[in-house]
Structure 1
Amino acid sequence: MNEILLKDEMTPKERIEAMISGRPFDRVPCNIFIGDHAATIIGVKVSDLNFSSDKFIEGQIAANEKYGIESTGVSPGLAGIAEALGSKLIFPDHGAPYVSEYAIKDVLDLEKLSVPDPVKAGRFPFVLETTKRLVDKFAKEIPVSVEVPGPFTTAGNLMSIEKLLRDTRKNPDYIHRVLRLVTDTTIAFIKEAAKFDVDIGIAEPSASGTLISKDLFQKFTLPYLTEIVDLIKMLGKGSPYLHICGNTKKIWTLMADTGVGSLSLDDVIDLEEAKKTVGDRVTLIGNVKPTATMYLGGPIDVEKDVKECLKKAYDNPKGYVLALGCGFPIDTPPENIYALRKAAIKYGKYPYEPSLFS
């Protein structure tokens, strides 16, 4: 960094843009993507947020008023692309959607499927409407993102993860055909979402090292992710972020090879190791513990986690964004969210004082 600002007067959007471009900025960005926790703030069911754009927007406005969020966005969900292709979902009143019936039950079902209308299928209309309204409300000061599930995750929600993993070995050509369909569907949706002033992110949890090997990642995930990343950049959206759950240490370099600008890392990952391995290629995002600290811990635990993350990643060559290691628990105590914001401001000022982290 060159000149360092010593004041905390930047908007969240100015801060993140300055960090990405290498310009001076005031403190570490603190990405609180509030997610389904917004339902608890406005007293509605989580399922309401998946269908009512009014409720979704109300929840984000309330979250910003209560916590001072530094990012916002909407997603079709991890199963949203599969839903548009025909998988049936259940939307719990207090939990994440899940597949109740897969669109592909046997190999012949694939022949019945084709890329759906990206503005009419599934909940795409809801996501696009909500995206527009988020941009209108927040985009001048707060970054707005649309997160899409990665192709491997979508394939698992189209035919079940068990069948997907089995057929990567027994019928790899068939799996590539499935991945081709879900990639083309994802691309069609991204082209519509990219018409708005948004960033695009990718969540690919099923490509975790917990489930697949580095070799399988290279064969069945890397090429399709790379194609999507190339498209996003071609559309002028900049390099997207990529989140993969679990221990991704063995594929960090491959994740960076996709061309993404940022890696969102699970809390099982050592940020200092990631910094040494790929920190000169990507911004690092993470990785305060979502469950052990934010949900089950207290403000003291939150402050401790923040300091540990900053100690390891504050000097990442491509920048660092303080965030949770994975999704935001719905019932996170408000006092822990306040503690996260307070710690980011207290300890994340530039220039950093490493002595504060001890």
Structure 2
Amino acid sequence: MSDLLLKDDMTPKERIEAMTHGRPFDRVPCNIFIGDHAATIIGAKVSDLNFSSEKFLYGQLAANKKYGIESTGVSPGLAGIAEALGSKLVFPDHGAPYVREYGIKDILDLERLSIPDPVKAGRFAFVLETAEKLVDEFGREIPVSVEVPGPFTSAGNLMNIGKILRDTRKNPEFVHRILRLVTDTTIAFIKQASKLDVSIGIAEPSASGTLISHGMFETFALPYLIEIVDTIKALGKGSPYLHICGNTKKIWTLMADTGAGALSLDDVIDLEDAKKTVGDRVILIGNVKPTATMYLGKPIDVERDAKECLKKSYDNPKGYVLALGCGFPIDTPPENIHALRGAAIKYGKYPYEPELFS
């Protein structure tokens, strides 16, 4: 374990479990979810981390030794459900996977699709194997998660998102059929992942309030998210976190209505506003600026940004987790990662001393 971790009174797993269950804990959790940045630590290609559970685990071990991570996990990726259903992906050596060929190009393509093998399709086997290794290595002290893409995001990776948005008006029944398929596929995979000692999280960036309206979210995202959340809870995994990119202010209450236990919010929104609106219902996660602060800024900028987040959210009724507002930039300077966790240790002690934020 990192020397920094030894300065804490609780392990990351003890801390997050205490906060979730309303028990006393030592300081604010700091979700340094390293992701693809791990490749830079071990001198690997990012693409390697999508296929080799050994390299993925090696990267997380190296990240923990270097930074003292407080969470770890693996995901099939935002296009992972679509990949399992037939979309063809590209895996850059230094970037996130993206769709090269959509599994659905027209209505007839949908007729040929069915729920795939939840263990073997796409990279499901890789994710399950990697999650098991992460649990074996970290599970006693660090929470391990498996993140799945939300149904609207999966639909937009199975068929071009522009066409999805068009058909929400021209052919809504067709969109609902796609959403039904990706939701059933996601649930089948979750049932396999839930056999491991992991929590489940949901990333639903395409359902952003900057992309779809409140009404569209209510019709095409909310019912399927509720179904997935209910499944996760029924499997004994607790309430998952839900991340949606962009300006989500107009759908905060709907996000909470999904039954998610925590909302991960982008840096374009104000945490204090979110606290006032849904803070009595959900844990808030976020929202240090990933690019402007973590990637392009200096440690002093990271500390300032973290302090501002803490100042606004330290007293959130359901709890608060210091984290980035969105994905972790691959080339984030190591000194900025140290600064983020250092700010959590320095300013996030319970009980809080608000004068530290001045």
Same-fold call, TM cutoff 0.5: yes
Structure 1: runs of 5+ lacking an equivalent: 1-6
Secondary structure of the corresponding residue to residue 99 of structure 1: strand
2-structure distance, mates of 1:344, 1:254 = 30
2-structure distance, mates of 1:165, 1:328 = 28
**Aligned-pair RMSD on alpha carbons?**
0.6
Task: Kindly report which structure 2 residues correspond to 1:21-100, keeping only aligned pairs within 5 A, or say none.
Answer: 21-100=21-100
Structure 2: runs of 5+ lacking an equivalent: 1-6
Structure 1 equivalent of residue 214 of structure 2: 214
Q: How much does 1:92 deviate?
A: 0.2
Q: How much does 1:307 deviate?
A: 0.4
Structure 2 equivalent of residue 126 of structure 1: 126
Structure 2 equivalent of residue 187 of structure 1: 187
Structure 2 equivalent of residue 311 of structure 1: 311
Structure 2 equivalent of residue 165 of structure 1: 165
Q: Encode CA deviations 1:34-64: one digit per residue, 9 max, x unaligned.
A: 0000000000000000000000000000000
Which amino acid is the alignment partner of residue 246 of structure 2? G
Which amino acid is the alignment partner of residue 269 of structure 2? I
1:112 correspondence with 2:108: no
Structure 1 equivalent of residue 145 of structure 2: 145
2-structure distance, mates of 1:220, 1:342 = 41
Identity %: 85
Query: How many equivalent pairs are there?
Result: 352
2-structure distance, mates of 1:232, 1:276 = 27
Task: Kindly report which structure 2 residues correspond to 1:218-229, keeping only aligned pairs within 5 A, or say none.
Answer: 218-229=218-229
Which amino acid is the alignment partner of residue 116 of structure 2? P
Q: How much does 1:77 deviate?
A: 0.0
1-structure distance, mates of 2:182, 2:294 = 34
Structure 1 equivalent of residue 353 of structure 2: 353
Q: How much does 1:292 deviate?
A: 0.2
Secondary structure of the corresponding residue to residue 284 of structure 1: strand
1:102 correspondence with 2:102: yes
Q: Encode CA deviations 1:3-47: one digit per residue, 9 max, x unaligned.
A: xxxx93100000000001111000000000000000000000000
Structure 2 equivalent of residue 270 of structure 1: 270
2-structure distance, mates of 1:218, 1:105 = 25
Q: Encode CA deviations 1:145-167: one digit per residue, 9 max, x unaligned.
A: 00000000000000010000000
Q: How much does 1:315 deviate?
A: 0.1
1-structure distance, mates of 2:212, 2:342 = 38
Q: Encode CA deviations 1:78-115: one digit per residue, 9 max, x unaligned.
A: 00000000000000000000000000011111000000
Secondary structure of the corresponding residue to residue 166 of structure 1: helix
Secondary structure of the corresponding residue to residue 35 of structure 2: coil
Which aligned runs of 4 or more in structure 1 are off by greater than 4 angstroms?
none
Secondary structure of the corresponding residue to residue 174 of structure 2: helix
Which amino acid is the alignment partner of residue 168 of structure 2? T
Q: Encode CA deviations 1:121-171: one digit per residue, 9 max, x unaligned.
A: 000000000010000000100000000000000000000100000000000
2-structure distance, mates of 1:84, 1:195 = 20
1-structure distance, mates of 2:179, 2:55 = 34
Structure 1 equivalent of residue 4 of structure 2: none
Q: How much does 1:222 deviate?
A: 0.1
TM-score where L is the length of structure 2: 0.98
2-structure distance, mates of 1:243, 1:342 = 24
Task: Kindly report which structure 2 residues correspond to 1:197-346, keeping only aligned pairs within 5 A, or say none.
Answer: 197-346=197-346
Which amino acid is the alignment partner of residue 232 of structure 2? I
Which amino acid is the alignment partner of residue 309 of structure 1? C
2-structure distance, mates of 1:274, 1:194 = 30
Structure 2 equivalent of residue 4 of structure 1: none
2-structure distance, mates of 1:275, 1:258 = 17
2-structure distance, mates of 1:107, 1:296 = 44
Q: Encode CA deviations 1:216-247: one digit per residue, 9 max, x unaligned.
A: 00000000000000000000000000000000
1-structure distance, mates of 2:338, 2:176 = 45
Which amino acid is the alignment partner of residue 146 of structure 2? V
2-structure distance, mates of 1:22, 1:109 = 48
Q: Encode CA deviations 1:310-333: one digit per residue, 9 max, x unaligned.
A: 000000000000000000000000
1-structure distance, mates of 2:306, 2:250 = 25
1:9 correspondence with 2:9: yes
